[in-house]
Homo-oligomer: A and B are copies of this chain.
Amino acid sequence: MTTLTSLVNHQVRLAARPVGMPGPECWSHTTEAVQEPAEGGVLVKTHAISLDPAMRGWMNDVKSYIPPVGIGEVMRAGGVGTVIASKNPQFAVGDAVSVGTGVQEYMLVPQDQIRKTGLVKIDLSMGNMTQWLNVLGMPGMTGYFGLMDVGQPKAGETLVVSGAAGAVGQTVGQVAKIKGCRVVGIAGGKAKCDWVVNELGFDACIDYKAGNVKAGLKEHCPQGVDIYFDNVGGDILDDVLARINRKARIIICGAISQYNNTTPVQGPKNYLSLLVNRARMEGIVVFDYADRYHLAVAEMAGYLKDGRMKSREDVVNGLNTFPETLGKLFSGANFGKLVLKVAD
A266 to B288, CA, bound (A): 31
Q: Does A23 contact B (CB under 8 A)?
A: no
**B-side contacts of A124, CB under 8 Å:** none
Map CB proximity to B onto A185-226 as digits: 1 under 8 Å, 0 otherwise: 000000000000000000000000000000000000000000
- Chain B residue nearest to A251 (CB atoms) is B275
A283/B288 in contact, CB under 8 A? no
B285 touches A276 (CB 8 A): yes
Contact A275 B288 (CB under 8 A): no
Q: Is the CB of B238 within 8 A of A276?
A: no
Is A329 interfacial (CB-CB < 8 Å)?
A: no
Q: What is the number of residues of chain A that contact chain B, defined by CB distance less than 8 Å? A: 33
Q: Which of B265, B269, B276 contacts A65 (CB 8 A)?
A: B276
Q: Which residue of B lies closest to A271 (CB)?
A: B267
Tell me the complex Cα distance, A262–B266, Å.
19
B283 touches A282 (CB 8 A): no
Q: Which of B238, B267, B283 contacts A269 (CB 8 A)?
A: B267
State how many angstroms separate the Cβ of A161 from the closest Cβ of chain B: 16
Copies of the chain in the assembly: 2
Indicate which residue in B255, B266, B279 contacts A283 across the interface (CB closer than 8 Å). Answer: B279
Assess whether A127 is interfacial by the CB under 8 Å rule. no
A64 interface hit (Cβ, 8 Å): yes
Does A113 have its Cβ within 8 Å of any Cβ on chain B? no
- Residues of B close to A288: CB separation below 8 A: 278
Name the distance in Å between A22's Cβ and chain B's nearest Cβ.
18
User: Out of B267, B269, B273, B275, which one reaches A254, CB within 8 Å?
Assistant: B275
Contact with B along A258-295 (1 / 0, CB 8 A): 10000011111111111111111111110010000000
- The reply on A253 being an interface residue by CB < 8 A is yes
- Residues of chain A from 27 to 70 with CB closer than 8 A to chain B in the complex: 63-65
A37 to chain B, nearest CB (A): 35
Q: Are B283 and A275 in contact (CB under 8 A)?
A: yes
A258 to B269, CA, bound (A): 10
Q: Is A252 an interface residue (CB 8 A)?
A: yes
A273: chain B residues within 8 A (beta carbon): 283
Smallest CB–CB gap between A215 and chain B, Å?
17
**Contact between A281 and B274, CB atoms less than 8 A apart:** yes
- The 5 tightest CB contacts between A and B, nearest first, are A267-B267, A275-B283, A274-B283, A267-B269, A280-B282
Can you list 26 contacts pairing A with B, beta carbon distance less than 8 Å? A63-B276, A65-B277, A238-B267, A252-B274, A252-B275, A255-B275, A264-B269, A265-B269, A266-B267, A266-B269, A267-B267, A267-B271, A268-B271, A271-B271, A274-B282, A275-B284, A275-B285, A278-B282, A278-B283, A278-B285, A278-B288, A279-B283, A280-B280, A280-B281, A280-B283, A281-B281
